[in-house]
Structures are given as structure tokens and as C-alpha cells.
Amino acid sequence: MPKKKNSRPRRYWLFKSEPDVYGIDQLEKDGSTFWNGVRNYQARNLLRDEILLDDGVLFYHSNAKPMAVVGLARVCKEGYPDQTQFEDGGKYHDPDSDPADPRWYHVDVKFVAKAKEPLTRDMMKAEPKLAEMMLLQRGSRLSVQPVTRSEWQTVLRLAGMKESW
């Protein structure tokens, strides 16, 4: 599925990762990585169809104490098939996915910055400007989710980070 040239304004996203699996320190060390292993259709559709080159990413440590936005990344490669779906015996193997019509996609992200201090979920919940943020809604478990421009700017301000690309 060919992509159109990114002519729309930059969009913003929040990507969740468990810090003991792949944390912000590892992304800083690696410089960039592919965001693989997403096995939710709604998140897959975002990765495949919506997330484009140079979009901004809030890097969020989930299943951690505390859960927090810990840094920034940017998309450096648009959606393409996640090869781990074809790795027999691998953690993310999907025996029903066909290489001619892949089921799962991922994007590449590049490290931008670490937060001066983690911006915890509780701190975000206390900010009225983030009241509608998907992350803070009851039952919201999506590992890749949209963030509005206003939410993005508020999170950057609270976390002491700047968009620098």
C-alpha cells in the first residue's frame, strides 16, 4: 500500500513501552528503533495508515512505578510490515499472517530527548488541560494512541521538553 507524501500538518502520538522491555534509556543508546510487536488492530491501523514521517511521539513507560512520559521521539520511517510476525517460534509470530498480505505493521522512531523528570500519570491527571487525553480515560489500554496538538504542548511544558526538529 503506497503512502502519499506527507503534506498534512505534523501529528502527535503516545507510544507505550515497558521500561524493562525497551525503555527511553535504550532508545537514547540505540538512536532509533523499529516499534514492533503491536498486536492490536486499532493500533496497527494507526501504525499502517495514520502515523507519518516526522510525527511526534511521547515515549511513555507503562507497567512501571511510576507510569510516566519519559521522553520524546519522532517517526523516522513510516509504516511497513513487522517482520516478527513471520518469525517461527518468535514472541510475536502470527502463523495466520501471510507475507503477501501482512497483518501487522510498525514504524521506526528516532530518539529526540529525555524528560528532565518523568511526567507521571498522576501529574497529568492533575492538569485540567489534559482531562480529555486518551491515556487518562478509564479503560484506555491502546499501546499507540493519538495526542492532540494542545495535549502535546501541555505535556512538553510540564515535562520541561522542547520539540527540537
- Tell me if the bond preceding 66 is cis, omega within 30° of 0: yes
Residue 162 pLDDT grade (very low, low, confident, very high; cuts 50, 70, 90): confident
Measured CA to CA, the distance from residue 2 to residue 13 in angstroms comes to 22
pLDDT digits (tens, 9 = 90+) for 46-99: 999 999 999 999 999 999 999 999 999 999 999 999 999 999 999 999 999 999
- Residue 8: what pLDDT? 87
Summarised one tens digit per residue, pLDDT across range 4-41 is: 556 789 999 999 999 999 999 999 999 999 999 999 99
Q: What is the pLDDT of residue 5?
A: 54
Q: Is residue 5 part of a domain?
A: no
CA 144 to chain centre: 5
In a domain, 2, yes or no: no
d(CA 37, CA 83): 9
Strand 32-34 versus strand 56-61 pairing type:
unpaired
Average pLDDT of span 122-151? 96
List CB contacts of 84: < 8 A, sequence separation 6 or more.
Answer: 36, 37, 90, 91, 92, 93, 104
Flag whether 41 is in a domain.
yes
**The pLDDT value given to residue 121:** 97
CATH number, residue 133: 3.10.590.10
Q: Tell me, yes or no, whether 95 lies in a domain.
A: yes
Count of structural domains within the chain: 1
Instruction: Determine the structural domain holding residue 135 and report its residue range.
Output: 12-159
Does some domain include residue 62?
yes
What is residue 165's predicted lDDT score, i.e. its pLDDT? Answer: 67
